[in-house]
Structure 1
Amino acid sequence: MSNDPSTPSGSSGDDGLPEDLARVFRDLNGGRDLPPEVVDQLKALGITDADPAQVAAMTSQIQAMFAPGAQAKGVDVTKATSAAREAVTESDHAMGERELGLVEQATRLAALWLDQVTSLEAPALTGRALSRQEWVEATMPVWASLVDPIADGLAAAIRDSFTSRMNGPGAPDLQALGMPPGMDLSMLSQQMAPFVDRMASTLITGQTAQAVGALASDTLTATEAGVPLVTDVVALLPGNVAGFADGLDVDLDEVWLHLATRESARMRLFTAVPWLGPQILAAVQAYARGIAIDTDAIDAAVREVDPSDPGAIQEALTGGFLNPTPSPAQRSALTQLETWLALAEGWVEHVSVQATKNQLPTTSAMTETIRRRRATGGPAEKTFAGLVGLELRPRRLRDAASLFAALEERVGAQGRDGVWAHPDVAPSAADLDDVLGFVERTAAGESSASEDLDAALESILREADERGDSSGGDEDDSER
């Protein structure tokens, strides 16, 4: 076989193989020439007589399979977005001018109502109507960031399984695979690493597209899941809102106003409390990063397929390989996530009720309807739960809403919103267990702070008076 780099592309080397293809096989064998037996088998397959275009296509496919690419790990956002958009194309809702304007009007009215009940502000926010496809495109980057840790874990598990199979005691019989002794399987397993990363990326990308597409058909507002998927608009999905309103004994315009007020409140919270959104995202990622991959299932799938058939490998690995038993670290992340979600949604619910109770006659009924919707979830949410192993659900919503209501009664709206000043002073899971205790501690802290401020002001004024007296006495002495 010729190793002369000057050999023209597509021409035959000394062994008669097309040079481009021979170079790929040499790379897979650690840069060494292939054993003569392997060359003879490749010739027997008719490679030397194949059409040059077919050889070029085969070479390109092999190189793409094993060479690192621009998207070798994690979720391919572009492909996931395209697949999810395609999934909702036929069912997407064509929006009219009335719906486009209605979101803007409802958002402006909600802003006026919220200004009366909270000091948290987000003056730059505007209303926007989104189709399902637009919601997919706007939110996919955040969903992908939450799923990426799972793709990394899956790729590592598959790599370990292949390496163990090729290099361990249970290594495959070379003769049975049609390869004579002399092939360096350890080198081949290293060369397969980019391919495995890409395969895991393809699997996770497809599952992410399916999950986000399902959510796009169900979500009413851009951030209804409680995750800061967008940060610059108050967005509603008119098609989904219309479907939701069909089953309610509430005028459609009122449904719009209720949802716009809640979404506006949620966006105010994420905007005015900049640490909250990153904390929620970090908790989801921490949970996903700790997910254990069922390596026994991976090993079983790898044993069942022909390593020379990438399609069969990918098909075998489409099953579920997430270990359902959470680790201690995951349980801690889940507790923190559920607490943040409950607190955020509890504040949003309480503030929205305060803003609309004197404006919309159906506030109580709509509040309970939305609360049940968030508590029970639906098929779309379960689809995403199957992907990351958890449900984005504020399980302690009632406790959190009660906490903020009690805070407002005890320390006023300013004190209620003041607990968002820093994560160290925000309520914890333990505080949701002892709402009254937290309220009293917060009130006592505010009282103490007020007393300290009064004492400081009194001290400053007293020192100023003493300096004035001293200055005045010096002037009198000099005059005498």
Structure 2
Amino acid sequence: MADLPFGFSSGDDPERDKRRDDDSGSGSGANPLGSFGISGDFDMADLGQLFTRLGEMFGGFGTAMAAGKDSGPVNYALARQVASSSIGATAPIADTTKSAIGDAVHLADTWLNGTTALPAGTTNAVGWSPTDWVDNTLETWKRLCDPMAQQISSVWVSSLPEEAKTMAGPLLSMMSQMGGLAFGSQLGQALGHLSREVLTSTDIGLPLGPPGVAAILPDAVENFAAGLEEPRSEILTFLAAREAAHHRLFSHVPWLASQLLGAVEAYAMGMKIDMTGIEELAREFNPATLADPAAMEQLLSQGVFEPKATPSQTQALERLETLLALIEGWVQTVVTAALGERIPGEAALSETLRRRRASGGPAEQTFATLVGLELRPRKLREAATLWERLTQAAGMDARDAIWQHPDLLPAAEDLDDPAAFIDRIIGGDTSGIDEAIAELGRNRDIDGSDSDSGETGRSGGSVDN
């Protein structure tokens, strides 16, 4: 993991002291929100709204505790507010643009019909502004972020010795509230940034938006197209084809979304914290630290609560990386087959997107920051090669039939050796059959021995075949 989950610091940050001085200074560049994880470029005009939100949180803290209410590990109301402030005002999408997006998705779906056995999965084609993207994907981000945030907030508390818990007392609940604010503000910043970068609702390979809704972000597409030589209409059709191809998978492979989100949850649940650091901290624990934001920042930056990778996390990460690579590789294969002879710039556009992913673009960086997982786009090329060769060897029907069950999909090692996987598909995977025959043979031997013993006892000899 190159990036720690949001809310953590590795402790190796030579710029921290400088930022702290900037954030706490009295000059015009001071940032009073630094303690809440909000960067210096935050719109200061929105301070009133944020302080109102903070006042509501502190004002209702006692009531929430008395009622036993839990605001959750992430303050999503704050995340939504910070994201909106980061995005700012956006112009409405013109009707002509909406019509062009609808036409592009319809055309792409028509062409995809000849390159995949999976039927169309889009029921509506829309244009989204950055704000629309945040509003329509926030529910999925909750499912992605909650497991990691919940585990972060609960694991270290549960790991504290009882003495430290007693000393902290009700301040632990306050810390949970503050953690929700910190996570929420960082999530809002990340979503605000990502909303201006993503091209479609499936740009990071996950089904973030509503099912069946093919969404394209015109402003981001315009920025993406700047400097490219291909016509805007071809770029739009290319992106529409990728969006439509993703929706075919997510709509007609019912287990796919749950497998993706399940891998994220499994990764979070496997988190462990080094108890050595916790025990050392407990010996010198001072409850007054919890009331001092600067002391808390210094405490958290020491890396004491830094999660340690575990074998279960490694396995979950491998499953997620492999599945995302297979999705992206399949999309690239069917889109290239559908557009390759119709759009001259398809190869160049595919290569541009490949480089965008391989360089760790904003989507990968944001995913790593929010969820604590770093995707390895180097596997995308291997996955595309596997699907292309399988299509040539077995045809698109056999290729797409593999999505019927997760156990049929290529494993991580198959991406490095696609020939063996393709041979199994073409010749039929007989490993299960061989095992069944061997088991049947063992059962027959046992039955035969019993039968022979019985016949011998009755007739004094073996059965004459």
Contact 1:258-1:363 within 8 A present in 2 as well: yes
Contact 1:68-1:194 within 8 A present in 2 as well: no
Structure with the bigger RCO (C-alpha within 8 Å, sep 6+) is: 2
Note if 1:144 corresponds to 2:142.
yes
Shift, 1:318, TM fit: 6.8
**Residues 190-247 of structure 1: CA deviation (Å, up to 9, x unaligned):** 5344323322222222222222222112111111111111222111111000000002
Note if 1:334 corresponds to 2:343.
no
Compared CA separation, residues 320 and 441, structure 1 to 2 (3 A): farther
Q: Distance in 2 between matches of 1:88 and 1:58?
A: 24
Q: Distance in 2 between matches of 1:108 and 1:361?
A: 19
Compared CA separation, residues 255 and 62, structure 1 to 2 (3 A): closer
Identify the match of residue 341 of structure 2 among 358, 380, 392. Answer: 358
Query: The residue matched to 1:95 in structure 2 has which SS?
Result: coil
Structure 1 residue aligned with 2:386? 403
**Residues 257-291 of structure 1: CA deviation (Å, up to 9, x unaligned):** 10000110011111111111211111122223323
**Residues 406-464 of structure 1: CA deviation (Å, up to 9, x unaligned):** 1111111111111111011111112112211111110112999xxxxxxxxxxxxxxxx
Contact 1:114-1:352 within 8 A present in 2 as well: yes
Shift, 1:105, TM fit: 0.9
Shift, 1:121, TM fit: 1.4
Structure 1 residue aligned with 2:188? 209
Q: Distance in 2 between matches of 1:134 and 1:317?
A: 38
Query: The residue matched to 1:396 in structure 2 has which SS?
Result: helix
Contact 2:339-2:346 within 8 A present in 1 as well: yes
Note if 1:345 corresponds to 2:328.
yes
Count residues in correspondence. 373
- Structure 1 vs Structure 2 CA RMSD: 3.2
Note if 1:426 corresponds to 2:406.
no
Q: Distance in 1 between matches of 2:413 and 2:57?
A: 61
| 1:234-273 map, 5 Å | 234-273=214-253
Contact 1:287-1:334 within 8 A present in 2 as well: yes
Identity %: 37
Match for 1:119: what amino acid?
Answer: A
Q: Distance in 2 between matches of 1:251 and 1:338?
A: 33
Note if 1:128 corresponds to 2:107.
no
The gaps in structure 2 that reach 5 residues or longer are 1-55, 432-465
Identify the match of residue 355 of structure 2 among 355, 372, 384. Answer: 372
Structure 1 residue aligned with 2:288? 306
Compared CA separation, residues 386 and 79, structure 1 to 2 (3 A): same
Shift, 1:380, TM fit: 5.4
Query: The residue matched to 1:306 in structure 2 has which SS?
Result: helix
Query: The residue matched to 2:214 in structure 1 has which SS?
Result: strand
Contact 1:245-1:252 within 8 A present in 2 as well: yes
Structure 2 residue aligned with 1:220? 199
Structure 2 residue aligned with 1:53? none
Query: The residue matched to 1:420 in structure 2 has which SS?
Result: helix
The gaps in structure 1 that reach 5 residues or longer are 1-56, 168-185, 449-480
| Structure 1, 307-316 or 282-291: larger mean CA deviation | 307-316
Note if 1:274 corresponds to 2:254.
yes
Shift, 1:118, TM fit: 1.0
Query: The residue matched to 1:360 in structure 2 has which SS?
Result: coil
Match for 2:135: what amino acid?
Answer: E
Compared CA separation, residues 239 and 88, structure 1 to 2 (3 A): same
Question: What TM-score do you get using the length of structure 1 for normalisation?
Answer: 0.70
Q: Distance in 1 between matches of 2:92 and 2:285?
A: 49
Structure 1 residue aligned with 2:447? none
| Structure 1, 222-231 or 71-80: larger mean CA deviation | 71-80
Structure 1 residue aligned with 2:84? 85
Compared CA separation, residues 156 and 141, structure 1 to 2 (3 A): same
Tell me which structure has the larger Cα radius of gyration: 1
Q: Distance in 2 between matches of 1:119 and 1:195?
A: 54
Q: Distance in 2 between matches of 1:59 and 1:287?
A: 32
Q: Distance in 2 between matches of 1:101 and 1:299?
A: 63
**Residues 134-174 of structure 1: CA deviation (Å, up to 9, x unaligned):** 1011111211221212222332255358765646xxxxxxx
Match for 1:282: what amino acid?
Answer: G
Q: Distance in 2 between matches of 1:67 and 1:125?
A: 46
Shift, 1:115, TM fit: 0.8
Compared CA separation, residues 305 and 248, structure 1 to 2 (3 A): farther
Compared CA separation, residues 129 and 240, structure 1 to 2 (3 A): same
| Structure 1, 147-156 or 361-370: larger mean CA deviation | 147-156
Structure 2 residue aligned with 1:435? 418
**Residues 352-394 of structure 1: CA deviation (Å, up to 9, x unaligned):** 0011012111111111111111222224532441333222454
Question: What TM-score do you get using the length of structure 2 for normalisation?
Answer: 0.72
Structure 2 residue aligned with 1:74? 73
